[in-house]
Amino acid sequence: MAYIERTVDRELDELLPVAPAIALDGPKGVGKTGTARRRVDTTWFLDDPAQREVARADFDLASVPPGSILLDEWQKLPQVWDSVRRQVDAGVPAGRFLLTGSATPVDPAGTHSGAGRILSLRMRPMGLHERGGITPTVSLSALLTGTAQEIGGSASFALRDYADAIVDSGFPGIMNEAPRLRRSLLDAYVQRIVDRDLPDQGYYVRRPETLRRWLAAYAAASSTTTAYSRLLDATTGGDGGQPAKTTTIAYRDHLSQLWLLDPVPGWTPANNPIRRLQQAPKHQLADPALAARLLDLSAATLLGAAGAHMAGPLFESLVTLGIRVLAQAAEASVSHLRLTGGDREVDLIAQGVDGQVLGIEIKLAPDVTDSDVRHLKWLRGKIPDRVVDLVVVTTGKTAYRRPDGVAVVPLALLGP
């Protein structure tokens, strides 16, 4: 399969010439190894027991050949993190090490954080702008810098196309497969987590069906700040049995270590004039297709009566995935804003490296009304010196700027 360029490639283009060691972190199947191997001379696969033993016996990495090297699945041998850090301290050249990891090490005790030596980049499933077939006309980077004055372009995407994009997956090895195979691969992905990845992390799942119910409850709470106690209530089985709170906390912690859960944090700005900000995260799985599969939703059911209640939340999941990929490349963080009590909320806040704020609303509809932008305009009124732009991401056909200054952009037209 031909390699599809990723947004993170732009980051690597910029950083490899100056950084001696970079770690790509993210869930299995997002394409970390494929992206990294294109940029190195040598690869050590540390999930291979034989290769792992060679590395274990060579703490100083003295046998590593010249040039750039990829240490794939480094968490299988956490000592290599310290080995790389020591090499960086010794003055290895830029671009010497790439590391990929699909889990946080089980026992990181004694392992240095790598701060200041190893640069970590998050790699997520592919956003819509990375999947091909569309030509973005609106730059998130320009919106973040307040330079996107001209907003325009037309998209051919229709509502069914967005529903398809939700269930197609952003995992490069899954998204182009036939629908039946794709569903089977997503099922197998979840099953592998239960049967292999969690045990590899030292956590044995005693009742797999309970974990799957909890994951389904988490998926049903996508794009909401539903309390974990309510997720626990939704995990009750047909026999009335409910897992212990400590069990579901373990689920959350271990699934986070595998990068499967990707919650959006509440916004916590410095010198904040906005009071009563809620800090609860918005729930998101790594890929909206996993959420749809856990809930047994197809593109057709998302648009029908049976699944319509999840169409909006999962469209928000799709938008959130793409914006996080784009924002990272622009050195921006992504969070959400919600006041305690819920009387004011903004779906996403992208905050740039200089503290500038881009407010983002998400709407599963082509048209935008004054009511849809009232919270964005409230945000601009509260911190006018920091808000550089406001945007509503829609399923419409045309990008434009409203008379009140709010940009309206179909998701298919939003790019780097």
Q: How far apart are CA 116 and CA 84, in angstroms?
A: 12
On whether residue 257 sits in a domain, the answer given is yes
Number of separate domains in the chain: 2
For β-strands 21-25 and 97-101, DSSP reports them as parallel
Q: How far apart are CA 367 and CA 161, in angstroms?
A: 17
Are residue 158 and residue 107 in the same domain, yes or no? Answer: no
Which pLDDT score is estimated for 106?
60
Are residue 283 and residue 227 in the same domain, yes or no? Answer: yes
Alpha-carbon distance values, 30 to 124, 178, 354 (Å) = 6, 19, 30
Are residue 305 and residue 377 in the same domain, yes or no? Answer: yes
Q: How far apart are CA 251 and CA 289, in angstroms?
A: 20
On whether residue 140 sits in a domain, the answer given is yes
On whether residue 2 sits in a domain, the answer given is no
- Identify whether the C-beta of residue 346 lies closer than 8 Å to the C-beta of residue 264: no
Are residue 302 and residue 189 in the same domain, yes or no? Answer: yes
**Residue 313 falls in which region: left (phi positive, over 0), alpha (psi -120 to 50) or beta:** alpha
Residue (of 102, 177, 186, 171) closest to 130 by Cα position? 171
Residue (of 189, 158, 148) closest to 171 by Cα position? 189
- Domain hosting residue 379, numbered range: 128-415
Are residue 139 and residue 95 in the same domain, yes or no? Answer: no
On whether residue 1 sits in a domain, the answer given is no
Name residue, tokens 């794009």.
Answer: 223
Q: How far apart are CA 202 and CA 333, in angstroms?
A: 31
Q: How far apart are CA 335 and CA 337, in angstroms?
A: 7
Are residue 116 and residue 135 in the same domain, yes or no? Answer: no
Are residue 102 and residue 214 in the same domain, yes or no? Answer: no
Show which of 86, 101, 122 is a domain's final residue.
122
Are residue 38 and residue 77 in the same domain, yes or no? Answer: yes
Show which of 91, 107, 122 is a domain's final residue.
122
Show which of 88, 103, 122 is a domain's final residue.
122
Handedness of CA 408, 411, 414, 416 (dihedral sign): positive
On whether residue 62 sits in a domain, the answer given is yes
- Identify whether the C-beta of residue 367 lies closer than 8 Å to the C-beta of residue 358: no
pLDDT in tens, the chain (416 residues): 788 999 999 999 999 999 999 999 999 999 999 999 999 999 999 999 999 999 999 988 988 899 999 999 999 999 999 999 999 999 999 999 999 999 987 655 445 455 568 999 999 999 999 999 899 999 999 999 999 888 999 999 999 999 999 999 999 999 999 999 999 999 999 999 999 999 988 898 888 999 999 999 999 999 999 998 888 888 876 666 688 888 889 999 999 999 999 999 999 887 777 877 888 999 999 999 999 999 999 999 999 999 999 999 999 999 999 999 999 999 999 999 999 888 899 999 999 999 999 999 999 999 999 999 999 999 999 999 999 999 999 999 999 999 999 999 999 999 99
Rg of the chain taking only CA atoms, in angstroms: 22
On whether residue 182 sits in a domain, the answer given is yes
On whether residue 12 sits in a domain, the answer given is yes
Q: How far apart are CA 20 and CA 22, in angstroms?
A: 7
Q: What is the CATH number of the domain that holds 97?
A: 3.40.50.300
Are residue 357 and residue 300 in the same domain, yes or no? Answer: yes
CA angle 134, 136, 139 (to 5 degrees): 160
**Length in residues, the chain:** 416
- The backbone torsions φ and ψ at residue 90, rounded to the nearest 5 degrees and listed phi first, read -80, -10
Are residue 192 and residue 212 in the same domain, yes or no? Answer: yes
Are residue 87 and residue 148 in the same domain, yes or no? Answer: no
Are residue 174 and residue 321 in the same domain, yes or no? Answer: yes
b vs e for 270-307, b when ≥16 Cβ sit within 10 Å of the residue's Cβ? Answer: eeeeeeebbebbbbbbbbbbbbbbbbebbbebbeeeeb
Q: Which two tokens stand for residue 215?
A: 């994951």
Secondary-structure percent of the chain, ordered helix, strand, coil, rounded to 5: 40, 15, 45
